[in-house]
A and B are shown apart, each in its own frame.
Chain A
Amino acid sequence: MSDSPARRRITPASLPIENLRRRPFRTTALTVVVTILSVAFFGGSMLTLNLKEGLASMERRLGADLMVVPQATSSKAEALLTNGNPSTFYFTRDVAGQVSKADGIAEATSQTYIASLAAACCDEKLQIIGFNPSTDFVIEPWVASQYDKTLQRGEMIVGASVNVSVDGTVELYGRTWPVVAQLANTGTSLDNSAFISNDTVPQMVEASARVSHRAMPKEYADTAVSSVLIKVKEGYDAQTVAENIKRLNPEFASLGFVYPGGVTASTKTSLDTLTGYLAVFITALWIMGLIVLLAVFGSSVNERKKEFASLRIMGATRGMLVGIIIRESAMIGLFGGVIGVLASSLFIFPFSGYIGNRLQLPYLQVGLPAILAMMAITIVLATLVGMAASVLCVVRLGRPEAYLTLREGE
């Protein structure tokens, strides 16, 4: 039992450590309670922050007020905007041309979407987005920050998650494509996309045909367009413009209309619901945790009355007693907070990609300063909750003549 005799003096300052060390079961149990609280708080906060960051990034990337897509493909198109799986859908260019003549349109540009197969052995499915560099107003603005030249035939700009080999190419449909730029992380499915100019689309379709699966029928390759992205004129709203488009041709009534603003809004709603539940859950957990801690520390006052009385009789001031109790509980809070932050970091950060994938919501890891700030806040809160737990004890000890003699304690 008498392992490594303590050579240092025990003082009122180091007494709390000794009290915790000599009661490992109680210390562990209380630390576990605080650890659970801080895991919930830190994990929940990081999740919320990352989702908010993802949403903000998605909002920045959506430059269009209205997307016109083929019949029954609206949900696929929405998934492209948030964090869904790659898909292929299209109508023909002449439809796109007619659509863009409707009243109330300031700018219109078309895009073509192709979902690639997992081509090379180490590649996943890519979303290929063909856009028209001459009319584009959606992709260029944010691509421009990293690539200011015009995209040439056969060239590619890829999202952050795309696997680019060291020689600056991507292998797709059995051939290599030069990559001229790789974009920053957005937390949406755009990270898993390759951007090519419209002229490259037929080339891509041909390449796909050679590797067994043809991405779209040959006759469409030159004319296929998946969506028309529209920026409305000042004074028009997206719904009115959609109505104008439907009036152009009775067949257009069956087209899909996607309102990226609405997609953002509905994503925001489901995100708010999620974070709302999370907040309620965490609050409830913290209240329960605080009650447990209050009960344990509160009952220990009676149990430890003799100990405090004997400290008092040795000449400990009221302040020293309060200090010993506060430090003891603050230390438990601190340990629990640090362990909680470390434990949840161990899961949140390595599994960041997996979490985003499972949530199917824009999920973007916030920057290091925000992470460090959140860690500090969690540890401070855990320490405070530890200290709050001993408040009852302190109040009781603070009363003059609160406890009297050693004999009364018996």
Chain B
Amino acid sequence: MKNRILGGIVPIVLGALIAVGPQTFAHVCEVHEGKMPMACHYTAQAALGIGIVIAVLGLIALFVDGRIRAGINIAVALLGALVIAVPTVLIGVCKGAMMHCHMVTLPTLIVLGVLTIVFAAIDVALDARHAK
């Protein structure tokens, strides 16, 4: 039961935050009409996709046994690394240190990514031990 919360509910919540965050409370810079969207716009799009995948994996993890849940959480941990990589190396955010996406979106995604990795790793450790 405890593992179900850790391996299922936690990824659902974190995935939702990763997907929604850059669109709402940790929003990126607006795209002005007729102008080229900035890097942070694409970062937000990528985060939306990855976040949804993480949440869906968490949903699946609710209905499977320990071994499969451990496997799902390995995937979730790797996606967590992707959440960190997108705003830092893969796509990036606006360079200006005072820009909202640099100041809020970037750290928010890093924190959510780290939390995703940590919790998924704990779940893998627990599930793998009990599945023996």
* Contact present between A and B (CB < 8 A): yes
Q: Which of B35, B111, B129 contacts A4 (CB 8 A)?
A: B129
CB of B26 to closest CB in A, whole Å: 10
Is A373 an interface residue, CB under 8 A from the partner?
Answer: no
0/1 per residue, A134-165, Cβ < 8 Å to B? Answer: 00000000000000000000000000111100
Residues of A within 8 A of B91 (CB): none
Residues of A within 8 A of B39 (CB): 122
Q: B107 touching A350 by the CB < 8 A rule?
A: yes
Q: B103 touching A122 by the CB < 8 A rule?
A: no
Q: Which of A124, A191, A354 contacts B107 (CB 8 A)?
A: A354
Task: Give Cα distance in the complex from A124 to B94, angstroms.
Answer: 10
Give the secondary structure class of A's interface. loop
Q: Which of chain B's residues has its CB closest to A159's CB?
A: B97
Q: B111 touching A191 by the CB < 8 A rule?
A: no
Q: Which of B32, B102, B111, B130 contacts A121 (CB 8 A)?
A: B32
Is B106 an interface residue, CB under 8 A from the partner?
Answer: yes
Number of residues of chain B lying within 8 A (CB) of chain A: 25
Task: Give Cα distance in the complex from A207 to B99, angstroms.
Answer: 23
Q: Which of A4, A161, A347, A350 contacts B98 (CB 8 A)?
A: A161
Q: A354 touching B38 by the CB < 8 A rule?
A: no
Task: Give Cα distance in the complex from A353 to B102, angstroms.
Answer: 9
Q: A162 touching B38 by the CB < 8 A rule?
A: no
Residues of A within 8 A of B38 (CB): 121-122
Q: Which of chain A's residues has its CB closest to B94's CB?
A: A122
Is A192 an interface residue, CB under 8 A from the partner?
Answer: yes
Is B110 an interface residue, CB under 8 A from the partner?
Answer: yes
Is A346 an interface residue, CB under 8 A from the partner?
Answer: yes
With A4-B129, A353-B103 known as contacts, the answer to whether A346 contacts B114 (CB < 8 A) is yes
Task: Give Cα distance in the complex from A354 to B106, angstroms.
Answer: 11
With A3-B130, A4-B132, A121-B32 known as contacts, the answer to whether A161 contacts B96 (CB < 8 A) is yes
Residues of A within 8 A of B107 (CB): 350-351, 353-354
Is B104 an interface residue, CB under 8 A from the partner?
Answer: yes
With A3-B130, A121-B32 known as contacts, the answer to whether A354 contacts B104 (CB < 8 A) is yes
22 pairs across A/B with beta carbons < 8 Å? A3-B132, A4-B129, A4-B132, A121-B35, A121-B36, A121-B38, A122-B39, A122-B96, A123-B96, A163-B97, A191-B97, A192-B98, A346-B111, A346-B114, A347-B111, A350-B106, A350-B107, A351-B111, A353-B97, A353-B98, A353-B102, A357-B98
Binding site for B on A (CB under 8 A): 3-4, 121-124, 160-163, 191-192, 346-347, 350-351, 353-354, 357
